[in-house]
């Protein structure tokens, strides 16, 4: 029987993570962009970095930021008490999310087995589900955290005669529907090849998440069910929920 790996022995696996923190934060409002809003006295980005740092194989985090935010992002990352052997790199944000991610990918270590791509404002991914996603990506090539649709789904009518108010056209069966989250995990060479192909063959095609690029080119992506706490801080009320969650964990 093989011996259990000691926590003091470095893993042969090597992962990089990209944290995308270059968005406009338009839905949040205010002058401070989402990654730098405070939760219990620390920026949201700090909590996100700290969550990823729990992955034993993680050796690099690439922060994708606006150039003017780089110093602020570096300070937020340092507050996460980075483990030894983990380095922080930087890349500039692009015009679209996929441009930002591609810039981040190019800054990852070429020797990394996997790359995790994470929203800066999604600070509470569970370690267990991230490890499951990493295992799935090693086997399949790509995986994402996601949650099953629980509520009844309605499609609005495109030909509404009710003025500005949308009306229901029909009910969409929710069986088999999932809501995509992050981190999304890929074999590094696999996702680099697909991004380069996208930029070469379909440069005007816009995707809203990285798994969509795999779908576009017919590559499988595994679904790993995430916990309900893996929400994204998008609106002011989400800050209150995040504060309550942290307080609950500390009790």
List domains and CATH numbers for the chain: 15-250 (3.90.550.10)
Q: Which of 88, 111, 99, 130 is nearest to 22 (CA)?
A: 99
Strand partners, 178: 148
Q: Which two tokens stand for residue 93?
A: 């944000």
Q: How many CA atoms lie within 13 A of 213 on its CB side?
A: 28
Q: What is the DSSP string of 135-146?
A: HHHHHHSEEEEE
147: phi then psi, degrees, rounded to nearest 5: -130, 145
Instruction: Give pLDDT tens digits along the chain (251 positions).
Output: 444 443 434 457 999 999 999 976 555 556 788 999 999 999 999 999 999 999 999 999 999 999 999 999 999 999 999 999 999 999 999 999 999 999 999 999 999 999 999 999 999 999 999 999 999 999 999 999 999 999 999 999 877 665 678 889 999 999 999 999 999 999 999 999 999 999 999 999 999 999 999 999 999 999 999 999 999 999 999 999 999 999 888 64
115 and 188 Cβ atoms separated by less than 8 Å: yes
Predicted TM-score (pTM) of the model is 0.90
């Amino acid at each position: 029987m093989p011996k259990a790996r000691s926590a003091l022995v470095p893993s042969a696996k090597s992962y990089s993570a990209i944290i995308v923190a270059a968005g406009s934060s338009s839905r949040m409002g205010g002058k401070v962009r989402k990654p730098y809003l405070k939760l219990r006295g620390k920026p949201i980005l700090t909590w996100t970095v700290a969550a990823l740092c729990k992955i034993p194989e993680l050796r690099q985090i690439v922060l994708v930021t606006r150039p003017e935010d780089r110093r602020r992002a570096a300070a937020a990352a340092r507050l996460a008490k980075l483990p030894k052997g983990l380095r922080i790199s930087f890349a500039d944000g692009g015009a679209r999310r996929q441009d930002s991610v591609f810039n981040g990918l190019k800054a990852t270590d070429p020797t990394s087995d996997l790359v995790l791509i994470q929203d800066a404002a999604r600070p509470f991914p569970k370690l267990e589900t991230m490890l499951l996603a990493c295992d799935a990506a090693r086997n399949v090539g790509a995986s994402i955290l996601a949650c099953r649709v629980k509520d009844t789904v309605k499609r609005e009518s495109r030909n509404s005669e009710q003025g500005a108010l949308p009306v229901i056209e029909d009910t969409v069966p929710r069986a088999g529907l999932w809501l995509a989250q992050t981190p999304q995990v890929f074999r590094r060479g696999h996702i680099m090849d697909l991004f380069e192909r996208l930029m070469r063959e379909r440069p005007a095609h816009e995707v809203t998440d990285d798994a969509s690029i795999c779908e576009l080119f017919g590559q499988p992506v595994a679904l790993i069910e995430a916990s309900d706490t893996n929400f994204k801080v998008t609106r002011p009320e989400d800050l209150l929920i995040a504060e309550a969650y942290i307080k609950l964990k500390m009790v």
